[in-house]
Amino acid sequence: MKQAPDGFVRLRDVDSSILEDVRYATPHNFTGDPVPGYDEPMCVLTRPLAEALHRAQQQLVPEGYSLKVYDCYRPQQADDRFVEWAQNDDHRMKDEFYPGLAKSELYSAGYIAENSGHSRGSSVDLTLVRLPAAPQRPYVPGEPLHPCTDPEGKRFPDNSVDMGTGFDCFDDRAHTDDPRITGEARANRDVLRDAMTSVGLQGYSGEWWHFNLPDEPFPGEYFDFPVNSAAFR
C-alpha cells in the first residue's frame, strides 16, 4: 500500500466542518464510473492548502455558508484514466457533462489533460452551501440526465448555491466570468472567489470551481498514492 508523502493531510483532520462530496469516488462524474485511485470519498490535500480552506471556512460560516469540496488531491492514475476515456466511445454521461461538445473535442479544448495540479495536492474544486446544509440527493446510475447548463431546478439537484452551471460542466458557461451568468449565480461566484482569494488562493478562469495554491510545496511533482485512510497510517 502506497503511503501519502509527508506534507499531505486529510481535510477532515484540519477542518471537519467543510463538506465533502468527492464525485470521482462515485459514478456521478463525466466517465460514469468510480475513477481509479479514489478508494474512498475523502478529500486529501497538502497541508498549506487545507489550512487555507480552514481559514476561508472560518470567514464563511458566520455569513451562513459552508465550503463543499468536489475534488482535492487526484492520483495520477485518475488523469491517465481521463485521457483513456476521452479516446473511447463511451458517451453515457454526455447529456449532463458535455451537452454542447463532441467528446472528441474535450482533449483539444483543455477539459481533459495528461497532468493536473490536483496530482500535486495543491488544487481544489469546490463550491458553497447555505447553512444549515440540506441533504445531498444521491445520484442513481442510469437515471435521466439533464444538461449541466440547465437552470437550477432542472439540472442535477446539488445542495449548493446556484453557480449557473453544475460541477465539471464542459461548457463556456462554466468560465468564471462568462457574461451570460448574471444575478444570484454571478453573486455566488463572486462570494466564492472573494473567499478563496482572501486566503491566498488563485482561481482558474475556465472553471468557477477550481482554485490553486500559488506557493505549492511540490511544484513539478505528480503523485499516485491512492485516496484512502490506509495511506495515512
Which residues have a catalytic role annotated?
207
> Rounded to an integer, what distance in angstroms lies between the CA atom of residue 94 and that of residue 71?
20
Count other Cβ atoms within 10 Å, centred on residue 88: 9
> Rounded to an integer, what distance in angstroms lies between the CA atom of residue 215 and that of residue 200?
9
CA distances from 55 to 11, 35, 51, 131 (A): 12, 30, 6, 17
Strands 202-204, 65-71: pairing is unpaired
The 3-class secondary structure across 77-108, one letter per residue, is HHHHHHHHHHCCCCCCCHHHHCCCCCHHHCCC
The residue written with cell numbers 478562469 in the block is 205
What single-letter DSSP state applies at residue 227? B
Long-range contacts of 21-27 (CB under 8 A, 24+ apart): 21/68, 21/69, 21/70, 21/136, 22/69, 22/70, 22/71, 22/72, 22/227, 23/70, 23/71, 23/167, 23/168, 24/71, 24/74, 24/78, 25/227, 26/139, 27/139, 27/141
